[in-house]
Amino acid sequence: MNTSPPTHPTFNQALKLWLKIGCISFGGPAGQIALMHKELVEDKRWISEGRFLHALNYCMLLPGPEAQQLATYIGWLLHGRWGGLIAGGLFVLPSLLLFWLLGWLYMSFGQLPSAQAILWGIKPVVVALVLAAAWRLASKTLKNNYLRAISLAALLAIVAGLGFVWIVLAAALIGLALYRWQPSLFKTAGHGSSGKSYGASVIDDHSPLATHAQYQAHTWRRALLVSLILWFGSLSAVFFIFGQTHLYNHIAQFFSKAALLTFGGAYAVLPYVNHAVVVDYQWLSQAQMMDGLALGESTPGPLIMIVAFVGFVAGWQQALGNDPLINAMIASSLATFFTFLPSFIFIFLGAPVVEATRHLPKLHAPLTAISAAIVGVIVNLALFMAYHVFWPQGWGNTIDYPALLLAIVACVALLRFNVGVISLLAVCAGIGLVLK
pLDDT digits (tens, 9 = 90+) for 375-421: 888 788 788 778 888 987 777 778 999 999 999 999 999 888 888 77
> Please, what is the Cα angle at 204 between 199 and 210, to 5 degrees?
150
Please tell me the predicted confidence (pLDDT) of residue 368.
Answer: 81
Q: Sorting pLDDT into bands at 50, 70 and 90, what band is 28? A: low
Q: Sorting pLDDT into bands at 50, 70 and 90, what band is 11? A: very high
pLDDT surpassing 60 at residue 234: yes
Please tell me the predicted confidence (pLDDT) of residue 363.
Answer: 66
Task: Give the residue-averaged pLDDT of 191-197.
Answer: 52
Give the separation between CA 41 and CA 9, rounded to whole angstroms.
Answer: 13
Separation of first and last alpha carbons in the chain: 55
Q: Sorting pLDDT into bands at 50, 70 and 90, what band is 263? A: low
301 Cβ partners below 8 Å, 6+ apart? 22, 25, 68, 91, 92, 94, 95, 96, 98
pTM above 0.75, yes or no: yes
Query: Lowest-pLDDT range, 71-75, 123-127, 175-179, 254-258?
Result: 123-127
